[in-house]
Structure 1
Amino acid sequence: MSLRRLALLTFCVLLAACSKVNQENFAKLSAGMPRAEVESLLGKPTDCSGALGMSSCTWGDKNSFISVQYAGDRVVLFSGQGLK
């Protein structure tokens, strides 16, 4: 294996290990938390949708994710799956 491939592989493994979608960050979420604080904690969401002042954002993928529902810009509900 070339040194360049080894460096790229190492970088990918480290990046995956630094995911903000984890049990520790999920435990920091609370109802009423502002959207800006959630995004500061979890980063930019993978997906968002909404209408009429309600929205839902998700971080992660289908196997490991955190989902947050907002009314305005405040958390009303949140859930997670596959968190480590």
Structure 2
Amino acid sequence: MLNRAKCLSALRRAALIGVLGLLAACSKVTAENYQKVSTGMSREAVVDVLGEPTSTQRSSLLGVAGEAAVWENGKIKITATFVNETLLTHSLNQQ
């Protein structure tokens, strides 16, 4: 029984690692996709290219809405600043 439990545990770990590997391989956060993003794009268009951001910070004042968004995938980090849902600046950092 103990050997069977160890085998099942090892199979579960292998399956989890495989799924995580597939998810990482399917990530939209790539230098190639970064090149498709340009100033003036809508936030929706940027999300279509890069996927939902890993993290965001939002604020608004007197009818002007701002958002700082970050996408991360391994050694790639993309940052973007939106004003009223329009891309103002963006940068790519590869470590």
TM-score when normalising by structure 1: 0.82
**Where does structure 1 lack aligned partners over 5 or more consecutive residues?**
none
**Distance change >3 Å, CA 81–CA 72, structure 1 → 2:** same
Shift of residue 9 of structure 1? 1.5
- Indicate which of 46, 67, 74 corresponds to 2:79: 67
2:42 corresponds to? 34
Aligned-residue CA RMSD (Å): 2.1
TM-score when normalising by structure 2: 0.74
Secondary structure of the 2:41 match is coil
Shift of residue 61 of structure 1? 6.0
**Where does structure 2 lack aligned partners over 5 or more consecutive residues?**
1-6
Kindly indicate whether the alpha-carbon contact (under 8 Å) linking 2:31 and 2:76 is maintained by their aligned counterparts in 1.
no
Q: Percent identity?
A: 35
How many residues are aligned here? 83
Shift of residue 64 of structure 1? 2.3
Paired residue type of 1:73: E
